Chains A and B, each alone.
Chain A
Amino acid sequence: MPTTTIAGHEVEVNDEGFLTKPEQWTEDLAPELAKLIGLELTEDHWSLIRFLRSDFAAQGETATLRRVSAQSGTPVKQIFALFPAKPAKKLAYVSGLPKPKGCV
């Protein structure tokens, strides 16, 4: 696994660039990860990031878009607006989590 330095943190990533150790993620890393994919985080982004982190801690896997929407009460349309085109993957990336594995 390659390591890379983001915002002064040395983190392990896979060959796509996703963090491979969720515990290496800290809140100050998120804005830097977001910047790398052209996003600027607002409070609305943050509430989804916090949901994804806590859901991952409880479930052991990254929530799918449908789960994020249903469990956090955020309309799918809004999630697409916050993380355009590939919302589930972008949200996971910024949150330092693996891509979701579920189909729906």
Chain B
Amino acid sequence: MSESPIVPSFDSPGSEGRKLAIICSKGNLDMAYPGLILANAALGEGVETHLFFTFWGFDIINKATMADLKFSFVGNTAMHLPGHSGLGIHHMLGALPGATAGATAFMKKQIADLDVPEVPEFLDLLSGSGCHMWACKMSADMNHLTMDDLYEGVEAIISASDFIEKTEGAQLLFI
């Protein structure tokens, strides 16, 4: 029996000031989730987290598209039926009419079955957890979008250099 209780080191000095920056550059459903999930995990560990949405990643925070991201298996040679890793599906079958809609509906169901929220609600979760969300200026200009078009948790439309400045010392992920 130990004298003083063993206590988890929740506030270990080593993690003090840790920052994570994630650049979300893709707008496919299956490419949106990794960034959101990792951001959520980091926030839950007390890590200051910044997301930078750029190029197709803009669709994740564009109010017109964020609830309607799609999953296509064209070009994904690793595609197989869920739970049947040995049974490949030829990725070009994904080009058939309706394949993307079907694959998207299926993936959304799998995600919902795990009690993981859809993209807009996921953004609410991140926002409530104190996530910093930034939109890329060049992407906004290319798409003729302003702050009014974007998810309300986005703090500002900023340039790439501003993002680099804000995330000084951060660990960085490009997705």
Contacting residues of chain B (1-39) with chain A, CB-CB under 8 angstroms: 1-2, 5-8, 10-11, 37
Assuming the contacts A85-B46, A103-B37, A104-B40, asked whether A90 and B5 have C-beta atoms less than 8 A apart, the reply is: no
Whether B116 and A104, one on each chain, are in contact in the complex, defined by CB atoms closer than 8 angstroms, is yes
How many of chain A's residues touch chain B, expressed as a range?
20 to 34
Question: How far, in whole Å, are A6 and B37 apart by their CA atoms in the complex?
Answer: 36
> Would you call A54 an interface residue if the criterion is a C-beta within 8 Å of the partner chain's C-beta atoms?
no
Q: How near does chain A come to B3, taking the closest CB pair, in angstroms?
A: 9
Contacting residues of chain A (31-82) with chain B, CB-CB under 8 angstroms: 36-38, 65-67, 69-70, 75-77, 80
Whether B6 and A86, one on each chain, are in contact in the complex, defined by CB atoms closer than 8 angstroms, is no
Whether A66 and B125, one on each chain, are in contact in the complex, defined by CB atoms closer than 8 angstroms, is yes
- List, in ascending order, chain B residues with CB within 8 A of A15's CB: 6
Dominant SS among interface residues on chain B: loop
Question: How far, in whole Å, are A98 and B83 apart by their CA atoms in the complex?
Answer: 28
> Would you call B130 an interface residue if the criterion is a C-beta within 8 Å of the partner chain's C-beta atoms?
yes
Q: How near does chain B come to A11, taking the closest CB pair, in angstroms?
A: 9
Whether A90 and B10, one on each chain, are in contact in the complex, defined by CB atoms closer than 8 angstroms, is yes
Whether A86 and B44, one on each chain, are in contact in the complex, defined by CB atoms closer than 8 angstroms, is yes
